[in-house]
């Protein structure tokens, strides 16, 4: 492994000058700086993070706790965050262990900050975390943790969807999303749905919220099949997430119906790929890029001011595309 001393020898300068040159310090002449830089490149120099970390007392690493690795929905979030932090010179350590052991490992590794994705499991164990020096940011767990947090106003997103459909004349709206779970991220959406239906004086049928067991393609598919057999059939449906939406579209297609002519569909999850999953989808939610940007910023701020407590609550938007239309009265 080539070190700054090797470069120094080759360049005929002292190693401290090399160090400064590599960090682009103004204390070293431009000419020598260029010279050193080219030698470093030629030799394939890579800084030793351990040494740097030792002296700077920062690891340059950020721990991401992601206990439920199966949930693919979050994967684009992680990928983006990973990318953005990398640009800022941080490496992300992804841990799939449970919260407690993940934090234990991160502590030993002396990460500069920890990002926790809130879900059933982690939320319940937040309380058991003994205070530590490492700043923690949680996502999707507002109100459930004593730590800094970035979150999305999920209830508001669903309300936007209901209002949009109501404005288009729809009165009989169904919601497909996980109802029987303890996951507060899901229940808040369903509660908002029920409440907004009442607020707007719309039809509040008993089975407006479809029963299901998960948030995956097949769950959406089955729930949509059940929904389509109801009489009268709902004229619009709100989906709780992208995977569900895919299943719903499949079921509608197999049933010989078309979107939005026969059924309008609004989906939660404001992702780029929502534009090309068959029908360009009308969606509600905070754009993924917005979420990741806020998370990244918040983490970096937290590293600068470890004692501060930030709470960011992102407001969702409605993006109207081709999957919703005025109610057909034929």
93 binds a copy of itself, rule: CB under 8 A: yes
Instruction: Say which entry of DNA, a copy of itself, none residue 97 contacts (CB below 5 to 8 A, set by partner kind).
Output: a copy of itself
- Short-list 106, 115, 109, 162, CA closest to 140: 115
Among 56, 180, 308, 328, binds DNA (CB under 7 A): 56
**Residues of span 193-232 touching a copy of itself by CB under 8 A:** 216-218, 221
Counting beta carbons within 10 angstroms of the beta carbon of residue 120, is it exposed (0 to 12), middle (13 to 18) or buried (19 or more)? middle
Count of CB atoms within 10 A of residue 21's CB? 26
**CA 121, CA 75: separation in Å to the nearest integer?**
18
Count of CB atoms within 10 A of residue 143's CB? 11
Count of CB atoms within 10 A of residue 323's CB? 25
Segment interacting with a copy of itself (CB under 8 A) among 7-15, 86-94, 159-167, 304-312: 86-94
48 binds DNA, rule: CB under 7 A: yes
Q: Residue 169 or 214: which CB sits closer to a copy of itself?
A: 214
Segment interacting with a copy of itself (CB under 8 A) among 29-37, 90-98, 136-144, 268-276: 90-98
**CA 309, CA 198: separation in Å to the nearest integer?**
36
Segment interacting with DNA (CB under 7 A) among 9-17, 148-156, 192-200, 301-309: 9-17
Q: With both helix axes pointing from N to C terminus, report the angle between 15-22 and 4-11 in degrees, rounded to the nearest 10.
A: 110
Question: In whole angstroms, how large is the CA radius of gyration of the chain?
Answer: 25
β-pairing verdict for 282-285 and 317-319: antiparallel
**CA 155, CA 142: separation in Å to the nearest integer?**
13
1 binds a copy of itself, rule: CB under 8 A: yes
**CA 231, CA 233: separation in Å to the nearest integer?**
5
Instruction: Say which entry of DNA, a copy of itself, none residue 126 contacts (CB below 5 to 8 A, set by partner kind).
Output: none
Q: Cis omega before residue 232 (within 30°)?
A: yes
Taking the complex as a whole, the smallest distance from the CB of residue 108 to DNA amounts, in Å, to: 10
82 binds a copy of itself, rule: CB under 8 A: yes
38 binds DNA, rule: CB under 7 A: no
Taking the complex as a whole, the smallest distance from the CB of residue 303 to DNA amounts, in Å, to: 15
**Residues of span 168-187 touching a copy of itself by CB under 8 A:** none
Segment interacting with a copy of itself (CB under 8 A) among 69-77, 188-196, 227-235, 261-269: 69-77
Instruction: Say which entry of DNA, a copy of itself, none residue 12 contacts (CB below 5 to 8 A, set by partner kind).
Output: DNA
82 binds DNA, rule: CB under 7 A: no
**CA 7, CA 40: separation in Å to the nearest integer?**
6
User: Which residues are at the interface with a copy of itself (CB under 8 A)?
Assistant: 1, 46-51, 53-54, 57, 59, 69-70, 72, 75, 78-79, 82-83, 86, 91, 93-97, 105, 107-110, 133, 216-218, 221, 247, 250
């Amino acid at each position: 492994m080539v070190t700054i001393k090797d470069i120094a020898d080759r360049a005929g300068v002292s190693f401290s000058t090399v160090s400064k040159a590599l960090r682009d310090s103004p204390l070293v002449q431009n000419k020598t700086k260029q010279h050193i830089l080219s030698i470093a490149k030629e030799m394939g120099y890579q800084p030793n993070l351990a040494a740097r970390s030792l002296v700077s007392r920062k690891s340059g690493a950020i721990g991401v706790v992601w206990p439920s690795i199966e949930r693919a929905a979050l994967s684009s979030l992680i990928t983006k965050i990973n990318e953005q932090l990398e640009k800022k010179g941080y490496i992300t350590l992804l841990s799939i262990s449970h919260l407690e052991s993940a934090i234990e490992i991160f502590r030993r590794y002396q990460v500069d900050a920890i990002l926790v994705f809130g879900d059933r499991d982690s939320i319940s164990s937040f309380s058991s975390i003994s205070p530590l020096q490492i700043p923690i940011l949680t996502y999707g767990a507002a109100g459930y943790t004593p730590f800094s947090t970035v979150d999305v106003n999920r209830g508001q997103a669903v309300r936007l969807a209901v209002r949009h459909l109501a404005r288009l004349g729809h009165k009989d709206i169904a919601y497909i999303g996980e109802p029987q779970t303890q996951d507060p991220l899901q229940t808040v959406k369903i509660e908002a749905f029920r409440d907004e239906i009442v607020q707007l004086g719309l039809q509040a049928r008993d089975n407006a919220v479809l029963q299901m067991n998960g948030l995956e393609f097949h769950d959406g598919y089955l729930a949509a099949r059940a929904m389509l057999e109801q009489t009268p059939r709902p004229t619009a449906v709100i989906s709780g997430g992208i995977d569900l939406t895919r299943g719903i579209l499949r079921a509608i297609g197999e049933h010989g119906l078309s979107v939005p002519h026969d059924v309008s569909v609004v989906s939660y999850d404001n992702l780029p790929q929502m534009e090309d999953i068959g029908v360009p989808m009308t969606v509600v939610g905070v754009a993924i890029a917005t979420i990741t940007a806020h998370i990244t910023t918040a983490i970096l701020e937290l590293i600068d001011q470890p004692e501060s407590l930030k709470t960011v609550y992102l407001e969702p938007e409605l993006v109207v595309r081709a999957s919703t239309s005025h109610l057909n009265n034929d």
